[in-house]
Structure 1
Amino acid sequence: MGAGPLTRDTLRTQLWPLPTLGVLLAVAAGVGLPRLDMRIGHHVPQSLTTYLFGGGPAAARTVLEAIAGSLISVTALTFSLTVVTLQLASSQFSPRLLRTFNQDRYVQATLALFLATFTYALTVLRTVRTEADGQPPFVPQLSVTLAFLLTLASVFALVAFLSHLARKIRVETMLRDVHVAADDTLRRLVPEARPAIPGGAAGAPEAPGDARTALSLSAGTSGFLAAVDEKALLAAAIEADAVVLIDRCPGSSLIAGTPAGVAWSRTGTPFPPDTRRLLIERTARALRTTPERTPDQDISFGLRQLTDVATRALSPGVNDPTTAIHALSHSSALLCAMAQRDLSPRRLRDDRGRVRVVLRRATLAELLHLAVDQPLHYGAADAAVLSRVTMLLRELAWHSGPEQRPVVAEHLARLRSAIATQELHPGDRIRLTDLADSVGQALDGHWTTAAP
């Protein structure tokens, strides 16, 4: 995958591109429409003139000045509300949720409309002439009418924006947005079918050559691995007649100069010096890093966000286990979807069908560790949180294949240990123990239903 998707994702999470485009279009319209007004002059049909602005130059200036002054105030209010929302999401839920707000098209479009209306009104204002200016009076009727219509649209947009913002800051909405984005990334990147070979979902590829002739590969800059340029990496491997293994998943933190992968000569002989240098340089360019994690190729990013919300909700300062349980429910749904997909390393082949590049994916064990360990650690004293973690394991066990069930069984053993060491009410302990037993039954392919 090249730089295109990564660039689009970067632009999508910025607040400025759409408002900037709106301002540019407003300037063009503010310059072009008054010229159209001059050309058509008094040739506008009477039936249309009734609906156009009918005031004189002074009235037109008053209207445009009022529009410009009010819209810049409304824009400042809208921006302030957006900043407050971002601060709330960062402090109460997770800093990694800011991407969800920044890429909200509704917020971007509202800011674009307000700034465009303000800019358009100012641009048209400069074309209104009165007799005091020493030139024939001129009122761009079409232009002033459009400014009035844009103002009406801005009023409706402000009301809709406030409603949208009130819905957006609800934790249920944020968790849903994270879930939808993570599910989209999973569907786009990972095939549906599980691997047929045992252990394929977690197995690492074997070294195809002598370790003594292996060439270490690293990223050119430090940061989070955001994307791998697959075409460039495959071309570099073919040109060097090599097999390249990248053993760091998207989302991993890379340090420049620290090995992120390895390459072997397909013939088993050491690489010539020029080939070594070119392969190292081209691999470094193919591993694209950013200062923050992005969901472009990172299938675990959504789970990271959900786990952050859960752990923050379980902190003593927030103490909101209900939110943590909701976040675990979304994590469970994502894990069940991941268990039904092929998480084995991605293999890129040349024209002859030979494997040239192997890209490691996050394993189900790593994903389950990410989703469960921290909530289990911070919420071990809450019976409701333990119950939801147990249900998560039960749901995942039901959707897992034979090669994935040992991972669930391992976490089940840790969960039983946490239940045994906590000071719980005897009734809660019995209920959690029975629920843990149901996880074992789900691992054996049996789903028991409690009697009413």
Structure 2
Amino acid sequence: MATAGALRTRLWPVPTLAVVVAIAAGVGVPQLDVAIDDSLPPAVTDFLFGGGPDAARELLGSIAASLITVTSLTFSLTVVTLQLASSQFSPRLLRTFARDRFVQRTLALFLATFVYGLTVLRTVRTGTDGEADFVPMVSVTLAYVLAVLSVLGLVLFLAHLVREIRVETMVDNVYTEAVATARRVCGPADPDRPADPNPPRPPPQSAPIPGTGSGFVTSVDEDALTEAAEAAGAIVLVDRTPGSSVVAGTPVAFAWPADTATDLDAERLATLRRAVAGAITLGPERTETQDVGYGVRQLTDVAVKALSPGINDPTTAIHTLGRSAALLCELAGRKLGPKTLRDKDGQARVVLRRPDLTELLDAAVGQPRRYGAADPAVLARLFRLLRDLAWCTRLPTHADAVADQLRRLRVTVSGQDFDAVDRAHLEQLSQAVEAALAGVWPPHTDRD
């Protein structure tokens, strides 16, 4: 899964596959021309290329030359877009652009047309010493069709690029990916179902399991961990969540015997350490594969970047916080917090740390509250975020997290020099959050 996710964020796999297919087609289609050269009816040949060798060479050469220019232009536009997204919004949005299938397929079409035209060009022959001219009509016609499709692809690519660099599109893509991750990792929505009650806790004598490398935890192989813990007769706590930073040699997990009357001998512990190290995949960056909080982090980065003095775009921050509210409400309806994995006999074998709503809410609200403290519109949007989440919560722990953030947000407001109108409006929104926690949604709390 991790490898597949990494390949989806690379620009080269799809274009490379297209180049290989184009070479095969450039070799195979002319052979088809040889086989059917004299058997095609006039009704078909009237639509095929009808020029001689010189005309075929000129057409194929023009297609190849123009397509390599268009490909260079496309790559340049893509790189400029990546630079814009990185500097204007957040460098963590680059993965969203790199995995854009429309961009990958457009580049694949351009490169395939270029390579196909060059490959077919080598088969065009002018007759000498009594040999007849050979012009692969079907092959040249196919090259023409690919060139036309490439022109259409360029127009659609430009339109797509204009849409993708809009902040509304970017944050919507982040939200969509984050929801997909939550559904994949946390299972179906169940707002009334709490996290695993009382997961096994490591005793003081538990053995630390160090990480073998440095980087970010991108994925954890749950089946491999469960099998390894069962084979060792142990319980394993993976103390790092996907997205956590790991330094080689520091503990990433703890192990202790399932039967407290026994000990883990050195051989079993060494085997278990190797298995745990192999089940935890590290990478140079956070990914959305199993990282439930990655989408929240991306949205918060965009909001904070918009609130920086160099950008000074509170409207973007407010819009992004709206998406953060929608994502938090989605996450609140799913099973967050620690996850316990059990063997076939029901024995707890692995405890996986996962962020709970308290952590995710603090990641979404903490920095925007600090950097947007002087803007009443940003603070108002944070109150609305808490009100939306308070209305969607069902668990007491979730309500406590909202109440804590409400208290901290009130402290921030009290420390600002707002006029009476702004202060009264923020106080009204603050009371609306309390009402939502009590199951009441008072009207007329928004001010456009």
TM-score (norm 1): 0.95
Between 174-183 and 394-403, report the one with greater CA deviation: 394-403
Q: Contact 1:94/1:309 (CA < 8 Å) preserved in 2?
A: yes
3-state SS, counterpart of residue 226 of structure 1:
strand
Q: Contact 2:373/2:416 (CA < 8 Å) preserved in 1?
A: yes
What are the residue-to-residue correspondences of 1:177-256 with 2, within 5 Å?
A: 177-191=173-187, 192-194=189-191, 196=193, 200=195, 205-207=199-201, 210-212=203-205, 214-256=206-248
| Pair 381,272 (structure 1): closer, same or farther in 2 beyond 3 Å | same
Deviation at 1:219, TM superposition (A): 2.4
**Please, which runs of 5 or more residues in structure 1 have no aligned partner?**
none
| Pair 39,451 (structure 1): closer, same or farther in 2 beyond 3 Å | closer
Q: Name the counterpart of 2:160.
A: 164
Deviation at 1:360, TM superposition (A): 1.2
Q: Which amino acid aligns with 1:48?
A: V
One of 361, 368, 371 as aligned partner of 1:368: 361
Q: Which amino acid aligns with 1:84?
A: V
3-state SS, counterpart of residue 216 of structure 1:
strand
Q: Contact 1:224/1:291 (CA < 8 Å) preserved in 2?
A: yes
Q: Name the counterpart of 1:393.
A: 386
Between 352-361 and 115-124, report the one with greater CA deviation: 352-361
Deviation at 1:403, TM superposition (A): 2.4
3-state SS, counterpart of residue 396 of structure 2:
coil
Q: Which amino acid aligns with 2:224?
A: A
Q: Contact 1:250/1:298 (CA < 8 Å) preserved in 2?
A: yes
CA distance in 1, matches of 2:57, 2:445: 76
Q: Contact 2:85/2:94 (CA < 8 Å) preserved in 1?
A: yes
Q: Contact 1:195/1:342 (CA < 8 Å) preserved in 2?
A: no
3-state SS, counterpart of residue 309 of structure 2:
coil
| Pair 396,451 (structure 1): closer, same or farther in 2 beyond 3 Å | closer
Deviation at 1:218, TM superposition (A): 2.8
Q: Which amino acid aligns with 2:233?
A: D
Number of residue pairs the alignment of both structures matches: 443
The ranges of structure 1 where at least 4 consecutive aligned residues each deviate by more than 6 angstroms after the TM superposition are none
3-state SS, counterpart of residue 318 of structure 1:
coil
Deviation at 1:417, TM superposition (A): 0.6
CA distance in 2, matches of 1:13, 1:41: 44
TM-score (norm 2): 0.96
Deviation at 1:344, TM superposition (A): 3.1
Deviations along 1:33-62, one digit per CA (max 9) or x if unpaired, are 111111222111111010010000000000
One of 82, 93, 113 as aligned partner of 1:97: 93
CA distance in 1, matches of 2:259, 2:175: 45
2:146 paired with 1:150: yes
3-state SS, counterpart of residue 391 of structure 1:
helix
Q: Which amino acid aligns with 1:364?
A: L
Q: Which amino acid aligns with 2:295?
A: G
Q: Contact 1:53/1:141 (CA < 8 Å) preserved in 2?
A: yes
Deviations along 1:219-261, one digit per CA (max 9) or x if unpaired, are 2211100000111111110100001111211100011211112
| Pair 70,204 (structure 1): closer, same or farther in 2 beyond 3 Å | farther
Calculate percent identity across the aligned residue pairs.
54
One of 362, 365, 381 as aligned partner of 2:374: 381
What are the residue-to-residue correspondences of 1:244-283 with 2, within 5 Å?
A: 244-268=236-260, 269-283=262-276
Q: What is the alpha-carbon root mean square deviation over aligned residues?
A: 1.5
Deviation at 1:426, TM superposition (A): 1.4
| Pair 149,196 (structure 1): closer, same or farther in 2 beyond 3 Å | closer
Q: Which amino acid aligns with 1:193?
A: D
